[in-house]
Structures are given as structure tokens and as C-alpha cells.
Amino acid sequence: MTGISLLKAMTAEPAFDGCPARLVTLKNTAGMSVTLMDIGATWLSCVIPLQYENREVLLGCATMAGFKQMTCYMGATIGRYANRIASGQFAVDGQVYRLSQNQAGNTLHGGEEGFDKRRWEIADQGSDFVRFSLTSPNGDQGFPGRLEVSVTYQLTADNRMEIDYQACTDQVTPVNLTNHAYFNLLGPASGTDCKTHVVQINADAYLPVNQHGIPVSQPVPVHGTGFDFRHPKTIDKDFLTDEQQQLVKGYDHAFRLNAACRSGRWAAVVSSPDRSVTMKVYTDKPALQLYTGNWLAGEPDRCGGEYGDYAGFALETQFLPDSPHHPEWDQESCMLLPGEEYRYRTTYLFEF
């Protein structure tokens, strides 16, 4: 689906607020194009120009009706807090804040009405970028403080999709923004799931969780486990071979990235089964969540049908899940203070 046809399809009916969505398509001289939407500050499309085809490598919906029906956050900006906060509450200086609980009594991806369901303002745009902004009021989904947020997408000449996150607050509050794009580098329309993609992750430790994705220990070494992606391997090589994966139907775990990632090394590299496309992920966030689309079955696709489980994978750059309850973990604090600036960047580099 081209940027023009996607624009027509996504604006044919109103969004959550009764008005049509606004879409922006960015293109570079190499022929790569990406399409963004103000609802959820969402990354809707990523088309790679290969020799014999223009390959869409993002999972997504074709209509606003499908977007409203969607429950898996495809391409959306996630906030205030990506991943889980256990029991839907946390405390600051002895004061307990109770949050919107939307998964087994926990808070997932910001709560019932997270940033993925909001209309963001298009604050600025140019030929190669668009900046979305949002104001989250004090008490939004139970979180304290007024939070001013912006997300800037930029498509570079060398096929990098750069996503810059900025935020500031007037009260102490946890902030953990990410993008929830699902990729299938062979193309979602190929009918092939993501398990034959070759993955490498620059991490020596991962975080064990219970069946609801809540951490059950501190990060533990990947050595000797199915979570060892320090050398390239296909997703299916060690798939569902251990109890941790079996609890959640696959990989849905955070990896604590090695320190070299903060100095410019890639955090993850993924190659398509046909070796036509390689994606490298760079980030200055301390962790990366690998999710293999374990619960995608029934989600609307671009062709009027439905995706199946494992149709795509997500690599969500973030703080470790439930960090508000674990200040002892060896990472910078997820708590944003008044006068501080939340500022992080994640880059997806496509080589083809």
C-alpha cells in the first residue's frame, strides 16, 4: 500500500476523537519511504526499495476501523511508561500513586488510555522529519505531574529512521517512552512468520518474568540459555525450549544492553531470511525488549484479513520493566524530576 492509498484508507473514517487522522510520508533519495500518523504518533509504514520490489517491512492496519480494533500497539508511541508496572502502583517519597490497570492487575504501556490512543499535535515538519507533541495532564492514568512530550521521526539519506524522545515534568514521575513497531523483514505479506529471521542482541543478561511479564528476579546471564543472542541465530533455534519462554509463548523479555551500546555500538542486528534486508538498532536506552508477536493472532492486517501469532517481532528500546519498584538495578533512574530533561534516541538503520 503506497503512502497515498494509506492516506485515503486511514482518513476515510474518523479517529477516536471524531476527526480524521493526519498522515505524513517521508521519502529519501534512495527510494525508502515511511508514513507516520498523528493518532498515537504512530509509525504506520516502512517501505524498502529492493531490486525487484518495494517491500513493506512493518506490520500495520489498512483502515482506521482496524486501528481502533487493534490491541497490540502496532507502530504506536508508548507512554507514559512502556512495558509493565506491577500492581498498577508505585510510590514517591512515601506517597502511593495508583494507576490505570489494564493487564492482570498491572499497568501495561501506560494504562487503558495510553499515549497510543491520543491525538498528537504535529508541532513541526520538514522534507525529512516530523515532530509530534503531546501534553499529558497531572493525574493522567494516575501518573503524577504535567508531562510535556515530543517525538521526532527523521528519515536520513542513508536509510536511518531516527526517533528522538523528549519530555519534561513539573512533578516527579516515571517516564519510559518507546515505539512499538513490529517488523517482518521478509514482508508481512509474504505469509512467512518472523521465526526464521536471524537475530543478534548486544546483551549479556536478560530479565526473567512471570506469566504476566512482571520481573521475578534481577537480570541474569544469558549464557547457557535460549536467551543468548550474542552470536547470530534464528529466532526458532531455541524457541520455546525453556520455561521462561513457555510461560509467555515465546520471547517477550527485556535484555540489559551492554555498556558499549551507549557509546555507539548497535544494540541489535536482524537479517531477513532471504538476506535482502538487514536492520541495525542503535539506542542510548539501557534495555531492549524482544517480543516475537506471541499474541498477534486475530489482529487486523493491511489486506482485510488477520495476522497470525509470530507474524512479526518488536524490538522496544526502554528502561527495564517495573523499574519504579527496582531502584537497586544497575541503570539510570526512570524517574524524571522537575528541571530535568528526558532525552533519548533510537535509530533503525536499514541496509539493503
The predicted pLDDT at position 3 comes to 61
The predicted pLDDT at position 165 comes to 98
Residues of the chain with pLDDT under 70: 1-3
Given 180, 197, 253, 299, which residue is catalytic? 180
Which parts of 104-158 fold into alpha helices (H)?
Answer: none
Given 56, 197, 253, 316, which residue is catalytic? 316
For 176-204, the DSSP string reads: B-EE--EE-TT-GGG---GGGSEEEE-EE
Give the contacts of 350 (CB within 8 A, at least 6 positions apart): 32, 46, 48, 57, 159, 160, 161, 277, 278, 279
Residue 275, classed as helix, strand or coil, is coil
Sign of the torsion angle spanned by Cα atoms 291, 297, 299, 305: positive
| Residue 149 near residue 115, CB atoms below 8 Å | yes
Binding-site residue numbers for beta-D-galactose are: 83-84, 180-182, 252
The predicted pLDDT at position 337 comes to 98
| Element at 291 (helix H, strand E) | strand 287-291
What is the residue whose three cell numbers read 513457555?
Answer: 246
Task: Please confirm, yes or no, whether 341 is among the known catalytic residues.
Answer: no
Candidates 3.40.47.10, 1.10.3720.10, 2.70.98.50, 2.70.98.10; CATH matching 1-193+293-352 = 2.70.98.10
Beta bridge partners of 162: 154, 347
Binding-site residue numbers are: 83-84, 180-182, 252
Task: Please confirm, yes or no, whether 180 is among the known catalytic residues.
Answer: yes
User: Residue 67 and residue 72: Cα distance in Å, rounded?
Assistant: 10
| Residue 175 near residue 336, CB atoms below 8 Å | yes
**Which residue type is seen at 176?**
N
- The beta strands (E) that lie in 95-240 are given as 95-98, 107-108, 121-125, 129-136, 147-155, 160-169, 173-174, 178-179, 182-183, 198-201, 203-206, 220-221, 233-234
Q: How many helices (H) and strands (E) does the chain have?
A: 3, 27
User: Residue 117 and residue 92: Cα distance in Å, rounded?
Assistant: 27
| Residue 269 near residue 243, CB atoms below 8 Å | no
The predicted pLDDT at position 5 comes to 85
Q: What is the rounded radius of gyration, in angstroms, for the C-alpha atoms of the chain?
A: 19
Rounded alpha-carbon distances, angstroms, from residue 211 to 21, 58, 245: 36, 27, 9
User: Residue 102 and residue 81: Cα distance in Å, rounded?
Assistant: 13
What are 19-46's pLDDT values in tens digits?
999 999 999 999 999 999 999 999 999 9
Q: What does the DSSP 8-state code read for residue 161?
A: E
Q: How far is CA 267 from the centre of its chain?
A: 14
Give the contacts of 19 (CB within 8 A, at least 6 positions apart): 119
**Residue 111: left if φ>0, alpha if ψ -120 to 50, beta else—which one?**
left
Beta bridge partners of 43: 36
| pTM > 0.85: yes or no | yes
Using CA atoms in the order 320, 324, 325, 326, what is the torsion angle rounded to 10 degrees? Answer: 50
